[in-house]
Structure 1
Amino acid sequence: MFLQRMITGSILLVISLLVIKNGGALLLFSMCLFAVLTLSELFGMAKKDKTLYPMFSFILITLIFLLSYFEPTKLFWNNVLTAGLTLGLVCFYIVEVFLKKIFLPKSNFGLFLRFIIFVSLTFPFIYLIRDMRFGFFYLLFVSVLVWSGDIFAYFGGRKFGKHKLAPSLSPKKTIEGSISGFLGTLLLAWIFIWIFNLPFLIYSLGAVLISILGQLGDLHESLVKRTFQVKDSSNLLPGHGGIYDRVDSALLVMPMFYYFLLFFG
């Protein structure tokens, strides 16, 4: 299992780096594909038809992503209304984590709207960060910190974990693991700051934001899986589960880090 996880993870890492380095239409298409697959996984976990509104979903997600691609329509993401909606969405999911309750619409259409809003206000920001000046560096910075935070939390929890963080959401997560993830993220950020001579305070604050939101995103996915009584979002990636299992930590981070960069960058 561990070997399978390492092989799949290594392949994903190489592909991700190549796509991020290339940027442009390739990254946009990849994020659009991931968004559609994640939407399918969400419906699968909810035990709804994975092909519910398939063509409408694909067309809508494609149109939303195209708003990120063309210069005139990029203004859609940089106005107060969209920023407020995105912040509100992130805060809503954080509230769900603390309440340990997912607010699910009863109708299929309501569920579809909840899921489509989630993928539409998270995935495009990965492309938007890459499209910024110094975007490759920014996306590399945030991606490395998110992924390494998960790794530090995992091994820190295995080595030192004694006190449960949120046993009703994720029995294996510990407070010690969470602290290890936070400190590991901050340490790596300081290495970036030292190597690239970056503003210490701004990038340290960015690392704190990344670590906290990354862990909350991870807990929110645990809440979703507990609500739907599934172990993984799918079995698409051997040893890793599904797409949502791999990007859960990043999805709350990317929108807020984008606006963080707009404000402080």
Structure 2
Amino acid sequence: MLKTRVITALVGFIIAIVCITFGGVVFDALITLLALIGWREFTLLAKSRRVRMPLLWGYIYILAVMTSLSLGYYNIILAIGLAGVFCLYMMMTFGERYKLHNVGYSIFGVIYVLLGMGALLLIRQDSLYSLLPMPYERDNWGVVTIWLLLFTTWASDTFAYFAGRAFGKNKIVPTISPNKTLEGFIGGFIGAIATGIVYAFIVGTPMYMGAFFGIIIGVLAPLGDLFESKMKRICDVKDSGVLLPGHGGVLDRFDSLLFAAPAVLAYLTLL
């Protein structure tokens, strides 16, 4: 099992290096694909609760939003969002398959997946930073920032795991995740901040930026993990999918980023 997890992680890391380095269509296509898979996994979770969701509607909605973000058509995102929700309302109004709770689950699922994946796509776009109040000019803000996000998120998970193993005594929410401890959370929080500062120093960005990334991710990454664990407990499943051997599905692997990435993007707009 450990060998499988390590091999999957290495393959994923190589794919991340290639796609982040090339950026553009390559990276956007990967994130869009992950968003589509994440939506399917969410519909399967809902299905375990006997909730029927419009799978094709979600695919079209996510493709429309992610394509608009990729092409820089930010001004039409609101129109796409309203049109998608209106379509759901009409399905409920004139159809028999979808009731009010189906619409609620569908809107919730799309928002959950799109906020995180859309934020990841935008954070990598170098052109976006010309619109943001960054501390100084540089050509590769997208690459620098996406790696800062990823490294601090991975550090949060890794430091939390080892701190929990070494010092963990006080359970935080045993009914959701029995292995999560206060000591592990503190270790992950400190590890995320330290990693952010070190990374910022190495690449030559302001260290306060790395520290703020660490603070945001140190809090939200474990919350994203707990949120997805709660969903799986409600649906009585072990993993959200089987795409990544040893890691489960996309929602299992990206649960921390789905919470952290939108908050980091919001921070960048205020930087």
Which TM-score band (shorter chain)? 0.7 to 0.9
Aligned residues of 2:35 and 2:113 also touching (Cα < 8 A): yes
Aligned residues of 1:41 and 1:50 also touching (Cα < 8 A): no
TM-score in terms of structure 2 length: 0.81
Q: Structure 1 pair 70/205, CA: closer, same or farther in 2 (3 Å)?
A: same
1:63 aligned residue:
64
- Greater Cα radius of gyration, structure 1 or 2: 2
Is it true that 1:7 corresponds to 2:7 in the alignment?
Answer: yes
| One-letter amino acid matched to 1:146 | T
Q: Secondary structure, in 3 states, of the residue corresponding to 1:170?
A: coil
| One-letter amino acid matched to 1:176 | E
State the percentage of identical aligned residues.
32
Is it true that 1:155 corresponds to 2:162 in the alignment?
Answer: yes
Match for residue 261 of structure 2 among 230, 254, 263? 254
2:153 aligned residue:
146
User: How far 1:52 sits from its partner (Å)?
Assistant: 4.5
Q: Structure 1 pair 51/10, CA: closer, same or farther in 2 (3 Å)?
A: farther
Aligned residues of 1:19 and 1:26 also touching (Cα < 8 A): yes
Is it true that 1:223 corresponds to 2:243 in the alignment?
Answer: no
> What are the residue-to-residue correspondences of 1:76-95 with 2, within 5 Å?
none
Match for residue 115 of structure 2 among 80, 98, 121? 121
Aligned residues of 1:40 and 1:50 also touching (Cα < 8 A): no
Is it true that 1:180 corresponds to 2:187 in the alignment?
Answer: yes
User: How far 1:124 sits from its partner (Å)?
Assistant: 1.0
Is it true that 1:111 corresponds to 2:118 in the alignment?
Answer: no
CA distance in 1, matches of 2:111, 2:200: 35
User: How far 1:33 sits from its partner (Å)?
Assistant: 1.1
Aligned residues of 1:181 and 1:211 also touching (Cα < 8 A): yes
Q: Structure 1 pair 22/51, CA: closer, same or farther in 2 (3 Å)?
A: farther
User: How far 1:205 sits from its partner (Å)?
Assistant: 1.8
Q: Secondary structure, in 3 states, of the residue corresponding to 2:243?
A: coil
2:124 aligned residue:
130
| One-letter amino acid matched to 1:154 | Y
| One-letter amino acid matched to 1:29 | A
Q: Structure 1 pair 140/239, CA: closer, same or farther in 2 (3 Å)?
A: same
CA distance in 2, matches of 1:52, 1:198: 44
CA distance in 1, matches of 2:35, 2:51: 13
Query: What's the CA shift string for 1:17-48, capped at 9, x where partnerless?
Result: 21111111122111111111111111212225
Q: Structure 1 pair 138/58, CA: closer, same or farther in 2 (3 Å)?
A: same
Structure 1 spans left out of the alignment, 5+ residues: 83-104
Match for residue 203 of structure 2 among 192, 196, 201? 196
